Structure 1
């Protein structure tokens, strides 16, 4: 059976090829449009000084200036005055102090030794021999004695403290900062209190007043004053 149409005259025969060629051309034109660059025209030289009136002269005239030297100053010679003769001064003879075999030697007992500059007050942390709380005398070293001192202080506070009734009724609680000084004789003095209420401060002062007499602290073997600070906390159950 013969076809109705001539294959050579079929328009859809090469449609895919024409479509591919068209798409390629469109993509090529789009790429060239995106990559096209243009630049502004810039002169390679400045034409702002093309006005001949603005240009400097070709030759600068040479000028000669004469400098006048300063006139020399004539100084008059100083006037020499003859002083009167002074009284005759007797010169003292300086004797040598070098020792020799005839020099007497001073006894060691006659030599005065300056006293050590020991401060009157030494902090608890830096003192050589801290104050000793009763019951801490048998500790092996100073570190242990200081630790025992702090432990005994806490025990004394817990044993002696009594919550003030006024503070309980008012619902007062807080921390009272206490600073006292172990005097040179081992007694307690210079008590300073600071707290949230007077009733709590008063009770903290009563607790410190109940402290026993201690062995005083020493610095290089000399008794000194030793301040100590400890907080006392009042807390309602």
Structure 2
């Protein structure tokens, strides 16, 4: 007897769909397996905690309080009070009034307040100053300090002044002189520098050079620091 199959129960025509579905599932499983990450669990050895060493002991702050003793009791009152007659006479003291009457003449002396004005010393020329300013490094007597200061200022000007400037300005040949006047104030600083010469650029150069002088020990007149005026001639030769 031949067995007849129902055409609808024939699954061979679905083999391709099953194969594709199985392939898709296999790829998904493989992808998940590749992307799956695992981490090793490690426990660090922290050692034994020394609880006893970290324990803090709080010591309360105590204050010694002195015992306050109560005041002694007052003495007992006498049982009987006796009244004693005072027979002595009391002399009254009469106080005389210090107030003046309109009829009495009062002489008032006028008091004048005298304000001592501090003597202000003006600037003193270098030639007549009692104690000359001291250039750094100068020592000796007053005359030696004066000579040393002149020499040091001359050396300073010769080193710093631009002597070639006179030839670049087109001045006529010969000697050109620039007069510089400045002041060494009460603190030893160089101030009030002014110059007068044949050209404005020569004057400006002279002021620049003098302002480069170092601070000095201020000069003194009558034992007090004063400003000292100094005049410096600078001679230039134009060929």
Instruction: Give the TM-score, by structure 2 length.
Output: 0.48
Query: In terms of Rg, which structure is larger?
Result: 2
